[in-house]
């Protein structure tokens, strides 16, 4: 019914690929090399360069951030409105069903 498939090498011989690599226990890991120590008198160079913002790029960055805030706010408000509308409609349905059940129990 269900038979496992053996992976085949992409070579033209179509010989089955070995599933596991042999593990040898006599290989020892090489010791980690020690990093060279820098002399204390030389100050370390800064690893990151500072970003220079021009006034135009600062305005563009602020406008982009404002647009993101407006879009995320609109999405969140619309989701809240959808939840409020759904809750109100479920409440109306519950009241109508309660009235119908009460009328049926009175035998009207």
pLDDT digits (tens, 9 = 90+) for 45-61: 556 677 788 889 889 99
Per DSSP, 19 falls in state: S
Question: In this predicted model, what pLDDT tens digit does every residue of 5-43 receive, in sequence order?
Answer: 776 655 666 566 666 666 566 666 677 777 776 666 655
CA distances from 107 to 70, 97, 98, 104 (A): 56, 15, 15, 5
pLDDT mean over 71-84:
97
pLDDT (0 to 100) of residue 3: 74
- E strands of 1-77, at which residues? none
């Amino acid at each position: 019914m269900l038979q496992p498939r053996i992976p085949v090498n992409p070579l033209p011989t179509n010989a089955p690929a070995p599933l596991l690599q042999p593990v040898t226990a006599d290989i020892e890991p090489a010791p980690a090399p020690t990093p060279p120590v820098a002399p204390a008198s030389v100050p370390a160079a800064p690893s990151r360069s500072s970003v220079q913002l021009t006034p135009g790029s600062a305005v563009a960055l602020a406008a982009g951030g404002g647009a993101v805030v407006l879009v995320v706010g609109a999405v969140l408000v619309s989701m809240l409105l959808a939840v409020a509308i759904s809750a109100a409609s479920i409440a109306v349905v519950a009241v109508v069903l309660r009235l119908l059940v009460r009328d049926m129990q009175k035998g009207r």
